[in-house]
Structure 1
Amino acid sequence: MTVTSAEFAADAGLRYVSDADPGIRRVRRGRGFSYHRPDGELITDERLIDKLKAVAIPPAWTDVWICPDLRGHILATGRDDRDRKQYIYHPMWREVRDADKFDSLLDFGRALPRLRQRVEADLSGEALRFDMVVSLVVRLLDETLARIGNGEYARDNETYGLTTLRPDHVAIDGRLTVFEFVAKGGAELRIPVVDRDLAEAVAACQELRGQHLFTYLDADDRPASVTSTDVNDYLGNITGADVTAKDFRTWGATVTAAHALAEASADGDPGDDDAVILAAIDVAADCLSNTREVSRSSYIHPAVPEAYRLRRILPIWKRVRTTRWMARPEWLTLRLLQQDARQDR
Structure 2
Amino acid sequence: MEIRIVKSMSKIERDDWKPLESRNFPFTDYDFLASLERSGSLGERTGWFPHFFAAYVDHRLIGALIAYLKTNSYGEYIFDWEWANGFHHHQIPYYPKLTSSIPFTPATGTKLLLHSDYDQKEIREEVDKALLSLVKSSSCSSIHHLFIPQDELQAWQGSGYHLRYSQQYHWHNHAYQCFDDFLAKLKGKRAKEVRRERRQIAEQGVAIELLTGDSLDQMASDRFYQFYLATLDKKHGLDYLTQEFFRLVFQSMQDRIVLCVASYEGDWVAASLSFQKGDHLYGRYWGSTASFRSLHFELCYYQMIDYAIAKGLKLFEAGAQGRHKIQRGFVPSWTYSAHKIFHPAFDRAIAEYIREEKRILDQAMEEDQNRSPYRPFISEKSPC
Which one has the bigger strand percentage? 2
Structure with bigger gyration radius: 1
**Highest RCO, 1 vs 2 (Cα 8 Å, sep ≥ 6):** 2
Compute the TM-score of the two structures, normalised by the length of structure 2: 0.22
TM-score, normalising length: structure 1: 0.24
